Structure 1
Amino acid sequence: MLDRRSATEPAAREAGDVVRRARRAPIRHHRRLVAGLVLAVVAAFAARVLLGDYTVTIPDFFRILGGEQIPGATYIVMESKLPRAVLAVLVGIAFGIGGAIFQTTLRNPLASPDIVGVSLGASAAAVSAVALAGWTGWSVSLAAVGGALAVALAVRSIAGDHGGFRLILAGIGLAAAMQSVIQYVFTRVDEWDVQLVLRWLTGSVNGVAWSTIGVLAAVLAVLLPATAWAARSLRVTELGDDTARGLGVGTGRTDLLMLLGTLLVAVGVAAAGPVAFVAFLAGPIARALNRGRTTLLAAGLVGAVIVLVGDYAGAYAFADLNLPVGVVTGAFGAPFLLWLLARGPLNGHRGRRAA
């Protein structure tokens, strides 16, 4: 009896070691991925602030941050380059995490705020507030948040408990309606408001005041921890509503997560306009880099890289042109959407059945 037990103990220990290594491998890969994406964000941030048509050295940059006045450089860094870079990071994180929440919770890569009308709802509300009501400042941003929430609630109500493609089709229909509202309102815009309205149509991180960036940072400081708490059951939610309920995760947690995702996208649009396809691209890219596993943190970092690189490309890649970041991201997001549609079934990640 003792001989048999002593013979099986090494095999049991070896099997246990294999299981532990298998569990630790995804965690180690995720940590390396996050570290690599943080470095990518830092590199893109540095390039956006230091390079371009007016280069700034690293010592001068830190001298400017310390309060020293360098003729020309201080104004360019503190009033143009740095606020654009900071806003790009914050907006990219908000769009990336918000889009990943939509796609993961609804188990469909097409279920992005760009596709289901949430971003356009915010834009339509903001444009209407500017052109029809004559609002300015924070009231327009609040109108954008309200528009995003209204569209999200409408899509959810129309889809009911079916979700899946019915929710996406309802979102596409409402997005078309919001686009029609925007086009109508644009015909009523005063010539002095055209540039402001265009910002709400394409998305741009240019010309945003530090006060707006501070408010966005404060809001994200509340929303991101709440999202991290609500996302603890995200992998269970991916299995479907019935399975999630069977494992003790009710629909209330899913609805809360969707609300937080909507708010993240809404405040991003309120700060920079609907930067096209960032919410759509960040989640699938992060998932592919993480070997098919959902990761909201990586999605946020990917979103930050996309907005930073897109803003830099829009400012410097084309001679005699200064394109808003939304134009650049839209140019790359549209082919990705076509590729996603052409590659096969879209009823869930890895062929899972949509609820």
Structure 2
Amino acid sequence: MRAVRAPGGLSLRLDVRAFTVVVLLTLAALAAGVVLIGTGDFPIDASDVLKTLAGQGDAGQEFIIRELRLPRVLVGLLVGACLGLGGALFQSVARNPLGSPDVLGLSQGSTAGALVVIVLLSGNATAVTLGALVGGLATGLAIYLLAWKQGVHGYRLVLVGIGVNAVATAVNGYLLTKADFVDAARAVNWLTGSLNGRDWDQVWPLLALCAVLLPLVLGNARGLRMLEMGDDVSYALGVRVERVRLLLMGSAVLLTAAATAAAGPVAFVALTAPQLARRLTRSPGPNLVPSLCMGAALLVTADWAAQRAFGADQLPVGVVTGVLGGVYLLWLLVTERRKGRI
């Protein structure tokens, strides 16, 4: 940690290691994005991708990159960033490393909203996106209200979230049994979590949401850090605990619901990205920006790995993140057990 002198005599504290991690993760995410743009049935060199993005490519490359592949990569970066940031917020508010959207039922709630539109209403892609968003928001509100008892505490939030997750999973299973063959196939394809077919219609809403919520979340980062020390300490330090908690939980729900609406329930990114970011920075606190960058890097790298291993459009990115996340959790459990912590 270093003190940096700013104009006007102000002094800022800079965590050099965390700053370095953020820069490296950002570069890794952008590099993976460039490589992913060049991957597909018509391979394009990274140098040609950069030239085309700079407006110096031929007409064919311009169409392939700007209209077909760039939106997919941008959606991947934004969805990964939303999930990483949302996961960090949930884990910090709950003060529990399992307090992620995957465990608390947010992803399943969004899935339920999408399945209602697919199975019962036979809605189009736009309606499915809106259904997933409404389902996620309704689930987040239900969890907050059910966990409320003179405030919302971490352990109660996790327990209620696990219960809501079980209920939403049962509802989703029931909806799938009521679907006909065509709707069931469409629903299962959405349930895996995929970036296939994503275009600019998904990019702009995600970008606008991030532009609004990111400054709001970072502006309350100090209050979030105080919350990790407990409500009593936070009150003593002048933090309006429930206001900050509700604001940040609402932001996390919006981020998660929007990411799920755009790409489906991509598994484990929200759970693992904050954990990996914390291990890299070795810094206490929520690590919001490192988690955001880690989520973006994880998702585009997983999508690139899926295309390289199985070809374009053959393996949804949600399958890859699910496998990698499961392996990471098993490794983490074994490591913690050897240290005698569990």
TM-score range, shorter chain: 0.7 to 0.9
Contact 1:53 1:316 (8 Å CA) reproduced: no
Describe the shift of the 1:33–1:299 C-alpha distance in structure 2 as closer, same or farther (beyond 3 A): same
- Counterpart position of 1:6: none
**Structure 2 matches for 1:29-40, cutoff 5 A?**
29-40=17-28
**Structure 2 matches for 1:2-81, cutoff 5 A?**
27-62=15-50, 64-65=52-53, 66=55, 69-71=58-60, 73-81=61-69
**Structure 2 matches for 1:88-167, cutoff 5 A?**
88-160=76-148, 161=151, 163-167=153-157
Describe the shift of the 1:252–1:80 C-alpha distance in structure 2 as closer, same or farther (beyond 3 A): same
Q: Deviations over 1:219-266 (max 9, x none)?
A: 221121222222232211111112111111112111101110110111
Partner-residue secondary structure (3-state), 1:128: helix
Q: More displaced, 170-179 or 104-113?
A: 170-179
- Counterpart position of 1:9: none
Q: Deviations over 1:194-232 (max 9, x none)?
A: 453124312111101212212221222112122222223
Q: Deviations over 1:140-180 (max 9, x none)?
A: 22221221122222222222246233321221121111111
Q: Deviations over 1:28-59 (max 9, x none)?
A: 22221111111111221121112455321345
Describe the shift of the 1:179–1:37 C-alpha distance in structure 2 as closer, same or farther (beyond 3 A): same
**Structure 1: any 5+ residue segments left out of the alignment?**
1-17, 346-350
Q: Deviations over 1:257-281 (max 9, x none)?
A: 1110110111111111111011001
Contact 1:122 1:270 (8 Å CA) reproduced: yes
CA distance in 1, matches of 2:34, 2:2: 41
Q: Which letter does structure 2 place at the counterpart of 1:333? A: G
Describe the shift of the 1:114–1:137 C-alpha distance in structure 2 as closer, same or farther (beyond 3 A): same
Describe the shift of the 1:265–1:332 C-alpha distance in structure 2 as closer, same or farther (beyond 3 A): same
Q: Percent identity?
A: 39
The answer to whether structure 1 residue 325 and structure 2 residue 322 are counterparts is no
- Counterpart position of 2:225: 235
Within the candidate set 240, 246, 267, 1:276 is matched to 267
CA distance in 1, matches of 2:207, 2:100: 23
Contact 1:316 1:322 (8 Å CA) reproduced: no
CA distance in 2, matches of 1:198, 1:75: 30
Describe the shift of the 1:51–1:137 C-alpha distance in structure 2 as closer, same or farther (beyond 3 A): closer
- Counterpart position of 2:293: 301
CA distance in 2, matches of 1:80, 1:188: 35
- Counterpart position of 2:302: 310
**Structure 1 runs of 4+ off > 6 angstroms?**
none
- Measured after TM superposition, the shift of residue 139 of structure 1 is 2.9
Q: Which letter does structure 2 place at the counterpart of 1:227? A: V
CA RMSD in angstroms, aligned pairs only: 2.6
The answer to whether structure 1 residue 266 and structure 2 residue 257 are counterparts is yes
- Measured after TM superposition, the shift of residue 84 of structure 1 is 1.8
- Counterpart position of 1:175: 165
CA distance in 2, matches of 1:162, 1:68: 54
Contact 1:127 1:200 (8 Å CA) reproduced: no
Partner-residue secondary structure (3-state), 2:104: coil
Q: Which letter does structure 2 place at the counterpart of 1:232? A: R
Q: More displaced, 227-236 or 302-311?
A: 227-236
- Measured after TM superposition, the shift of residue 315 of structure 1 is 1.6
**Structure 2: any 5+ residue segments left out of the alignment?**
5-10
Q: Which letter does structure 1 place at the counterpart of 2:75? A: L
Describe the shift of the 1:69–1:324 C-alpha distance in structure 2 as closer, same or farther (beyond 3 A): same
CA distance in 2, matches of 1:116, 1:193: 27
Describe the shift of the 1:90–1:283 C-alpha distance in structure 2 as closer, same or farther (beyond 3 A): same
Q: More displaced, 155-164 or 275-284?
A: 155-164
- Counterpart position of 1:249: 239
CA distance in 1, matches of 2:45, 2:113: 42
Partner-residue secondary structure (3-state), 1:187: helix
The answer to whether structure 1 residue 289 and structure 2 residue 280 are counterparts is yes
Q: More displaced, 278-287 or 55-64?
A: 55-64
Tell me the TM-score normalised to structure 2 length: 0.87
- Measured after TM superposition, the shift of residue 318 of structure 1 is 3.5
CA distance in 2, matches of 1:85, 1:205: 8
Q: Which letter does structure 2 place at the counterpart of 1:170? A: V
What count of residue pairs does the alignment treat as equivalent? Answer: 327
- Counterpart position of 2:7: none
